[in-house]
Structure 1
């Protein structure tokens, strides 16, 4: 039995539309929350949160990434990355070593424990994406990817 969407009725009934694109904005906000809900609950049980997962996600895909490059990819300040990064290092979910080429630069890598945490949190999100893509079919998924790529081009 196909799931029915509760999102449209909830958002349209509860918030006044001040602009023709408000419904799209609301779906973006609530869609993000829906995608990250289970992952965030899992992370909270680990004593972690969304910023920790973002760091783990990037480092998993760019082993030996310099902290400066991580900051650039995440689009956040050095101050914003400092606290979650230090916790991940303290919890031994990441390792840090000096770059052999640039001694002032530190390179980050996931530990096995960090890989497991990142994979489980991302699996929760991938499952939500998979279910959504299954619901809308290949053309709906392709349309969504096109919209998200256009939005991401603003970075």
Structure 2
């Protein structure tokens, strides 16, 4: 079977050989994620940041004064994996860290105004893509997507 590539909204989307009935869904998940995050990732790259930095900023924006341990739990990554991007965000003064008044060994994280601005802009690019997709598929389609993503998220 010949493999071709489609150009979709500035992205190359290969028509790959399907080895399983769910391969089309897996490919759409991959290309959908890439399409949703493309502009945000390009913006972050201009600042010397990447997806891991955005994930940290996103979580901290929604849970100010989060402990590093809780951040690691939410992200589902190791302390070693969070260390480098977290340190860069602290060095660049996009996050601040303070000691927890209750647990002195624990540090609490909060966005600085600049960190907040960057997070809002990067997440805004992603929300814009989701909004356009939800508007395209309508309320029923958006609800179905939320149900599928919720079922996947609840399993892991």
TM-score (normalizing by structure 2): 0.92
Counterpart of 2:99?
98
Structure 1: gaps (5+ residues): none
Q: CA RMSD in A?
A: 1.5
Give the Cα–Cα distance (whole angstroms) in 2 for the partners of residues 46 and 35 of structure 1: 19
Aligned residues: 148
Give the Cα–Cα distance (whole angstroms) in 2 for the partners of residues 35 and 6 of structure 1: 12
Counterpart of 1:117?
118
Please list every run of at least 4 consecutive aligned residues from structure 1 whose deviation after the TM superposition is greater than 3 angstroms: none
Counterpart of 2:132?
131
Give the Cα–Cα distance (whole angstroms) in 1 for the partners of residues 63 and 15 of structure 2: 42
Task: Tell me, yes or no, if structure 1 residue 32 matches structure 2 residue 58.
Answer: no
Counterpart of 2:3?
none
Structure 2: gaps (5+ residues): 1-6
Counterpart of 1:16?
17
Q: Post-superposition shift, 1:154?
A: 1.4
Q: Greater helix percent: which structure?
A: 1
- Aligned to 1:150, the other structure's residue is in SS state helix
Q: Post-superposition shift, 1:14?
A: 2.2
TM-score (normalizing by structure 1): 0.92
Counterpart of 1:107?
108
- Aligned to 1:96, the other structure's residue is in SS state strand
Q: Greater strand percent: which structure?
A: 2
- Aligned to 1:107, the other structure's residue is in SS state strand
